[in-house]
Chains A and B, each alone.
Chain A
C-alpha cells in the first residue's frame, strides 16, 4: 500500500511541472506590452510600469522568469500581489479556510442528499421512486448553480427574509450565524453535486445488484439491509468516489461565482478580484494553489479507491 502511494506521488511530479508551466505561461496571453497592461494600461505612470516590470522580472528571458517563479513556487511562495503589500501566499491562506468550508459543506450536502437518492433509485430501477429521482436529477443538472443561488436569495432573503443574502460569520463567533450564512451557498453549489452523485450511485448500484455475487449473498439468507448495505454499497462505492473527486474540482470552480454572489471573501472571490484587476502574480499563485488542491484530492481519491478495491492494490 505504501509503495502504491509513493508511486502515485512520484507520478505527480511531471504533472505539477507541466501545470506550473501552463500557469506561469498565462503571461503570454497578456495583450500588448505586459508591464504596461499590468500596470494599468493607458493610465499607468512610467514609474509604475518600471516597478511592475522589475517586480515580475519582465526584463529577463521567459525561461529565467519561469525559473525564478517556479523556484519560489516550490516553497509555496508566489511573490507579492501588485495591489497589496501582503504576500500572495498569506492572502491565500487567509481565504482558503473559508472556501474549504463552503466547498466542504456543499460536498457534505451533496452526499447527504445524493447517496440516499442513489440508493432508492439503484435498488429498484424503473420504479416510480427511481423515475422521480431520474427526473429530478436531470432538472438539477441542467440548472446553472449561480442561477440557483440567485433564486435562493430571491426566495429566502428577499421575498421571505429567513436567511441572510450576503456575508460570512466565523464558526467560532457564532455557530448559528455561521450556519445561516453558509446554508444558501451550500445548497446552491451542492444541488448539482447531489444530483451527480445520485446518478452515479444509481447506475453503479443497479449494476452491482444484478451481479452474481449479490445473488450469492441473497442465497446465503442475508437480510436485504445487509445485502444492499454491505455487499451492494461497498462494490458500488468506487465509481461514486471517482465522481466525488471530480466534484471537488467543480466545487472549487463554483466557489468563484458563489462567493461573488454571496459576497464572501474566499479563495474564489480572490481569483475573481485578481482577474478583474489584472493582478497577474495573484492569478498565477491562486490558480497554482487551486491546481495543487485538485491534485491532492485526486491523489486521496486514488488511495481510497485502492483501499476499497483489493485488486488495485496489487497492481
Chain B
C-alpha cells in the first residue's frame, strides 16, 4: 500500500487515497465479468460476504440445492432399492409387453413386461456405481501424480504431462470404448476405462494448483524473513487443491455417468438381464416403432442426473470460491 511511486508524491495532492487502483476511474466504476459497469459502492447481487460458512453459501444457490437434494434421494433410492421397490426389475411379464404407465407400474413395462420404474432404480445403482468407481479411481491415481508433478517438477513433471497430453489426444469416448472393450464388457471395466480417461484432467488440475501455491508462497516467504516455505506450502496446497478438485470431481461425475450410459448403450457395460440406463435406452431403441415412448424415461433420467451434477459443480464453485490455475 505504501509503495507509492516517487512520481506520484511529487504532484499528487491526495496522499490519503492509498490504493493505486482508485485513481483508475473516478467513481470507482468497476467492470464486472458481465461487461456492465457498475459503481462498486453498490453491492452486487451475487456477491456473498466471505465470512459466511460454506454450507450457508451453498444453500443460497437454490438451484444447486435442489440438484443436491435430487442426487441424495437418487443415491438413497439406489442403495435401498430392494426395500423401496417391490417389483423385481428382472421379472418378465410377457402378457403385459410395452404397457403404458399405470398405478401398478408407474413408468410402464418394457418389451419383456418388466417394470420400468424398478429397472430405473436398479439401473441408477449400476450407473452410479460405475461413475463412482471411475471418479474415485481417477482421483486416487491422479492426486499423488499431480502432487509429484507439481512439487518435483523437472523431467518427472515433463513426462507426466506428456503422457497426460497423449491420453487427452484420443477422444474420451473412443478411449473409454476401446479400453473397456478390450477388457471385456462389465461395469467394473467401464469404471476402470473411464478412470484412465479422466485421470489426466485431475493430474493437471492438482499440478497447476501446486505450482501456483508454490510460486506465491515462495514470493511471500522471501519477503517475510524466517518463513519456512515448505511448511506453508503443505498447509496451503491442501486447501488450494481440495476445493477445485471437489468441483472438478462433481462435474466429472456427470461426465462419467454420461459416458457409462453411452458405453452400456453400445453394449459394453452391464450385461443382460441387469439394467443400466444406457442398456434400457438401447432396448427401447430396438422397439422404437412399437413403443417409442420407452425412450423418454431412461434418457430423461440420464439428462436430469447429468444436469444435477453440473449444477452442483457450479454451486460448489461459487460456495468454495474456487479459483483454478492452469488446468
Contacts and interface: CB of A to CB of B under 8 A. Distances in A.
A210 B302 CA distance: 38
Given A31-B184, A146-B265, A295 B169 contact: yes
Contacts of B299: 144, 147, 150-151
Given A147-B299, A250-B171, A271-B178, A18 B166 contact: yes
Given A150-B288, A249-B171, A290-B170, A276 B306 contact: no
Contacts of A73: none
A150 B295 contact: yes
A153 B182 contact: no
Nearest to A123: B35
Sorted nearest first, the 4 A-B pairs with minimum C-beta distance are: A253-B171, A275-B181, A142-B307, A253-B173
Contacts of B162: 14-15, 18
Contacts of B173: 253-254, 256-257
A237 interface: no
A146 B262 contact: yes
Interface in A284-299: 287, 290-291, 294-295, 298
Contacts of B254: 142
A15 B170 CA distance: 12
Interface in A143-197: 143-144, 146-147, 150-151, 153-154, 158-159, 165
A117 interface: no
Nearest to A205: B35
A253 B285 CA distance: 21
B285 A261 contact: yes
B177 A291 contact: no
Contact of A29 (B35, B172, B183, B285): B183
B292 interface: yes
Interface of B: 31, 33-37, 162-163, 165-167, 169-175, 177-179, 181-184, 254, 258, 261-262, 265-268, 281, 284-285, 288-289, 292, 295-296, 299, 302-304, 306-307, 310
A290 B295 contact: no
A90 to B, nearest CB: 21
A144 B182 contact: no
Contacts of B37: 210
A26 B183 CA distance: 10
20 contacts: A18-B166, A22-B170, A30-B182, A146-B281, A147-B302, A150-B295, A151-B299, A165-B288, A209-B35, A210-B31, A250-B171, A252-B174, A254-B173, A256-B173, A261-B285, A272-B177, A276-B181, A283-B178, A291-B170, A298-B169
A126 interface: yes
Interface of A: 14-15, 18-19, 22-23, 26, 29-31, 122, 125-126, 138-139, 141-144, 146-147, 150-151, 153-154, 158-159, 165, 206-207, 209-210, 249-250, 252-254, 256-257, 260-261, 271-272, 275-276, 278, 280, 283, 287, 290-291, 294-295, 298
B35 A210 contact: yes
B170 A294 contact: yes
Nearest to A251: B171
Given A144-B303, A146-B265, A210-B37, 7 more contacts: A15-B165, A147-B302, A158-B288, A206-B34, A249-B171, A257-B265, A271-B178
A125 B36 contact: yes
Contact of A291 (B169, B261, B295): B169
Contacts of B165: 15, 18
A159 B292 contact: yes
Given A147-B299, A150-B299, A290 B35 contact: no
A22 B182 CA distance: 14
A159 B296 CA distance: 14
A22 B284 CA distance: 36
B309 to A, nearest CB: 9
Contacts of A278: 181-182
B295 A26 contact: no
Given A143-B303, A158-B289, A207-B35, A26 B266 contact: no
A58 to B, nearest CB: 15
